[in-house]
A and B are shown apart, each in its own frame.
Chain A
Amino acid sequence: MSLATAHFSPPVLSLRLFAVWRRNFLVWRKLALPSIVGNLADPVIYMLGLGYGLGMLVPQVEGVSYIAFLAGGTLCYSTMNAATFEVLYSGFSRMHVQKTWEAIMNAPIALDDIVAAELVWAASKSCLAGVAILAVIAAFGFTASPLALAAIPVVFLTGLCFAALGLIMTALAPSYDFFMYYFTLFITPMTLLSGVFFPQSQLPETVRSIAELLPLSHAVSLVRPLLLGQMPAQIGLHLAVLAAFTIVAFWLALALTRRRLLK
Chain B
Amino acid sequence: MPLEIAGLVKRFGEGAEAKDVLRGLDLSLRPGECFALLGPNGAGKTTTLRCALGLTAPTAGSIRLCGLPVPEQAREARARVGVVPQIDSLDPDFTCAENLIVFAGYFGIRESEIRPRIPELLAFAGLEGKDKARIQSLSGGMKRRLTLARALVNKPQLLLLDEPTTGLDPQARHLIWERLRRLTAEGTTILLTTHFMDEAERLADRLAILDNGRMLAQGSPREVIAAHIEPQVVEVFGDWKPGGQPDSGAAAWAAAHAGALSRRCEISGETAFCYTDDAAPLLAHLAHQPGLRSLHRPANLEDVFLKLTGRELRD
Asked if B92 and A98 make an inter-chain contact with CB atoms under 8 angstroms apart, the answer reads yes
Most buried by A among B81, B88, B89: B89
Provide the B81-97 mask, 1 if CB < 8 A to any CB of A, else 0. Answer: 10101011111111000
Asked if A107 and B106 make an inter-chain contact with CB atoms under 8 angstroms apart, the answer reads yes
Among A27, A102, A107, A263, point to the contact of B94 (Cβ < 8 A): A27
Decide yes or no whether B196 CB sits under 8 A from chain A: no
Among B79, B85, B89, point to the contact of A108 (Cβ < 8 A): B79
Q: How far is the CB of A16 from chain B (nearest CB, A)?
A: 7
Asked if B91 and A106 make an inter-chain contact with CB atoms under 8 angstroms apart, the answer reads no
Provide the A1-42 mask, 1 if CB < 8 A to any CB of B, else 0. Answer: 001001000000010100110110011001000000000000
Main secondary structure of the interface of A (DSSP, over half): helix
Q: How far is the CB of A37 from chain B (nearest CB, A)?
A: 19
Inside 8 A of A107's CB, which chain B residues have their CB?
78-79, 103, 106-107, 154
Cα A137 to Cα B76 with chains together (Å) = 48
Asked if A106 and B57 make an inter-chain contact with CB atoms under 8 angstroms apart, the answer reads no
Decide yes or no whether A233 CB sits under 8 A from chain B: no
Cα A100 to Cα B89 with chains together (Å) = 6
Decide yes or no whether B75 CB sits under 8 A from chain A: yes
Most buried by B among A3, A107, A262: A107
Residues A85-140 near B (CB distance < 8 A): 98-100, 102-110
Inside 8 A of A105's CB, which chain B residues have their CB?
53, 55
Decide yes or no whether B267 CB sits under 8 A from chain A: no
Cα A30 to Cα B102 with chains together (Å) = 14
Known: A106-B83, A110-B75, A263-B56. A30 touches B93 (CB 8 A): yes
Inside 8 A of B89's CB, which chain A residues have their CB?
98-100, 102-103
Cα A19 to Cα B103 with chains together (Å) = 9
Inside 8 A of B239's CB, which chain A residues have their CB?
none
Provide the A49-81 mask, 1 if CB < 8 A to any CB of B, else 0. Answer: 000000000000000000000000000000000
Cα A19 to Cα B114 with chains together (Å) = 14
Residues B87-131 near A (CB distance < 8 A): 87-94, 98, 102-103, 105-108
Inside 8 A of A20's CB, which chain B residues have their CB?
106
Inside 8 A of A26's CB, which chain B residues have their CB?
94, 98, 102
Among A6, A100, A103, point to the contact of B57 (Cβ < 8 A): A6
Asked if B85 and A102 make an inter-chain contact with CB atoms under 8 angstroms apart, the answer reads yes
Cα A6 to Cα B58 with chains together (Å) = 13
Asked if B108 and A103 make an inter-chain contact with CB atoms under 8 angstroms apart, the answer reads no
Inside 8 A of A16's CB, which chain B residues have their CB?
106, 108
Q: How far is the CB of B248 from chain A (nearest CB, A)?
A: 52
Known: A6-B57, A19-B105, A23-B102. A109 touches B93 (CB 8 A): no
Asked if B76 and A100 make an inter-chain contact with CB atoms under 8 angstroms apart, the answer reads no
Inside 8 A of B93's CB, which chain A residues have their CB?
27, 30
Asked if A109 and B102 make an inter-chain contact with CB atoms under 8 angstroms apart, the answer reads no
- Contacts A16-B108, A99-B85, A103-B90 known; 18 new A-B pairs at CB < 8 A: A3-B57, A19-B105, A26-B98, A27-B93, A100-B89, A103-B85, A103-B103, A104-B106, A106-B53, A106-B85, A107-B78, A107-B79, A107-B107, A108-B107, A108-B108, A109-B75, A262-B57, A263-B56
Identify 23 residue pairs between A and B in the complex whose beta-carbon atoms are under 8 Å apart, listed by A's number.
A3-B57, A6-B57, A14-B75, A19-B105, A23-B91, A23-B102, A23-B105, A26-B94, A26-B102, A27-B94, A98-B89, A98-B91, A99-B85, A99-B88, A102-B85, A103-B89, A103-B103, A105-B53, A107-B107, A108-B78, A108-B79, A108-B106, A262-B57
A residues neighboring B (CB under 8 Å): 3, 6, 14, 16, 19-20, 22-23, 26-27, 30, 98-100, 102-110, 262-263
